Amino acid sequence: MNFTQFCAYVADEFDTDSRGQRFGQFMMNQLQGISPQLYEAIPGNVDCFYSDKLVSSCFAWLGENWDKYSF
């Protein structure tokens, strides 16, 4: 799965069933299931699990670093 596919997947899944989670929390949970290594590499200052205000920063970081991690 590439970064563009991940973004589309998260948006579709969130719209289908967010499981009562905020978007940032949902996105991070999806990322952890897809790439635990990439999930663990996200710096704390862009980790949007606890704050949706960091979603844009997190996506920017993921876009820049996605290809550094193999799936």
Q: Which residues of the chain have pLDDT under 50?
A: none
pLDDT value of residue 31 = 97
Alpha-carbon separation of residue 58 from 19, 27, 41, 48 (angstroms): 21, 10, 11, 6
Q: Is this prediction's pTM over 0.85?
A: yes
pLDDT value of residue 69 = 84
Closest CA to 12 of 32, 34, 35, 30: 30
pLDDT value of residue 71 = 65
Domain limits, the chain? 3-14+22-68
Q: How many CA atoms lie within 13 A of 23 on its CB side?
A: 13
